[in-house]
Amino acid sequence: MNLGFLGLQFSFGLQQGNMGPIYTYLGATEAQIPMLSLAGPITGLLIQPIIGAMSDRTQSRWGRRTPYFVVGAVLCALGLLAMPLSSSLLMAVSLLWVLDAGNNITMEPYRAYVSDRLDPAQRQIGFLSQSAFTGLAQMLAFLTPSLLVGMGMNQDWVDAHNIPYTVRIVFMVGAVLSLTTILWSVWRVPELPLTPQELAHIQAQPTGLGATFREIAEAIGDMPLAMRKLGLMSLFQWFGMSGYWAYVSYAIGRSVYHTADPLSSAFHSAVLTNGEVAAFYNAIAFVTAFAMVPLVRRIGPGPLHALCLVAGGLGMIALPLVEHKALLFVPAAGIGLAWGSIMGNPYAILSNAIPATRTGVYMGIFNMMIVIPMLLFAILMSRLDLPFISLGFGLYDTLLGGDPRHMLTLSGFCLLLAGGSVLWVREGRADAIALHAAVGA
């Protein structure tokens, strides 16, 4: 069921590990990276709630979610194929919008798909299984460039625009993997037929784009208290993850390889090392996602998520202090624990707090709690000077001194704050514990 999610998350892994370096290869400065990466948060903010509301109401011979899986997979594959061929910064930024649109069209229905197919007693393991596939997919995405170099490719073999050929090959692999796994998944595990009650509910709903926006607004107004409280946790959690993903390669370049030159061989080594570290923490996430299932049943998803976030925050604070490559994997283990929990436990808390008839729209709205912190991160940290206007506050240069190692420290403290915040979400945790107690009985 989640095999298609593996292909989708392979695509996200490629973005996390390569978009910043691609931008710098094409001439961007470190301070511009968050602003140039706005495609992700903006498309997520706009697309996921709309697709969520539309998929809740869709009636087709293929199901409610499947049409969106297929459209998103095609857009994602096209974006992945074209991205490493970018000849300018403008071209790369434009293609990222296409790629992120495809990813977001597919992502939200996949979250709802789990709730659709599984009863409440199964959702915890369903979302943690999805988290495990995320870890596996991103591990493969981050590790593949190093495997290519290990098989004999020159890490410094670049095209006319300074983009390594290892990047070109791994993006092509990602395009094929994303499209084929998603199509295979929906073919092998078709959606369950709608019940007469579900059909009657859908048919009673007004149609059209205006109705979709009204449904989103009404759902926000009716949002369960547990979901509202998750918003504070999401603010700190995703602000911290945004800072880590954007600047970890540059931090490793400074601390381990003593370089800030994006065109140097040492920086190529830093990018490959980050891929290996990220592959390791995603492997940790893959394994621990399954190991968390009995722990969740014992203490609940909220306290467990808090512990994992604290481990990740301490890992991020420690990582820029490391000067030897081999020791980078020690703090990465904590980051892996956090990542494995991030992709599963919040959704388990959420799925037990929202009505089944609004699963799609609430999953889309919950994604707004992910992308708004990313958008805030870009505006605060980055600065982009355009001919008639300047965007962003540029705190990366002014507050952090243009040092990516300071960004990782800030990101680590954000995860510690997120860990404290999730303990405030008592309603969702109590529901989950009561549910698992009933199942055990």
Mean pLDDT over 219-245 rounds to 90
Residue 285 vs residue 195, higher pLDDT: 285
* pLDDT beyond 60 at 79: yes
pLDDT of residue 350: 80
pLDDT of residue 256: 98
Q: Are 229 and 369 in contact (CB under 8 A)?
A: no
Look at phi and psi of residue 354 and say left if phi exceeds 0, alpha if psi is from -120 to 50, else beta.
beta
- With b meaning 16 or more CB within 10 Å and e meaning fewer, what string describes 205-236? eeeeeeebeebbeebeeebbebbebbbbbbbb
Identify the weakest region by mean pLDDT among 86-90, 164-168, 251-255, 295-299.
Answer: 295-299
390 beta partners? 385
Q: Are 338 and 290 in contact (CB under 8 A)?
A: no
Residue type present at position 130 = Q
Query: Confidence band (pLDDT; 50, 70, 90) for 437?
Result: very low
Mean pLDDT over 419-432 rounds to 64
pLDDT of residue 309: 96
Tens digit of each residue's pLDDT (9 = 90 or more) over 337-387: 999 899 778 877 787 777 877 777 787 788 888 889 999 999 999 987 777
* pLDDT beyond 50 at 221: yes
Q: How far apart are CA 19 and CA 137, in angstroms?
A: 17
pLDDT of residue 426: 61
Q: Which two tokens stand for residue 236?
A: 């700190």
Query: Confidence band (pLDDT; 50, 70, 90) for 45?
Result: confident
* pLDDT beyond 70 at 438: no
385 beta partners? 390
* pLDDT beyond 80 at 293: no
Q: What is the DSSP letter of 381?
A: H
Tens digit of each residue's pLDDT (9 = 90 or more) over 112-154: 777 778 887 787 777 778 777 888 888 999 999 999 999 999 9
> How many CB atoms neighbour CB 389 within 10 A?
7
pLDDT of residue 58: 74
pLDDT of residue 208: 67
pLDDT of residue 441: 35
- Taking the mean position of all CA atoms in its chain, how far away is CA 149? 26
* pLDDT beyond 70 at 207: no
* pLDDT beyond 50 at 431: no
Which uninterrupted H or E stretch holds 110? helix 89-117
Residue written as token pair 């009995």: 294
Percent of the chain residues past pLDDT 70, beyond the cut: 95
Q: Are 5 and 345 in contact (CB under 8 A)?
A: no
Q: Strand locations in 263-401, DSSP E?
A: 384-385, 390-391
Percent of the chain residues past pLDDT 90, beyond the cut: 50
Mean pLDDT of the chain: 86
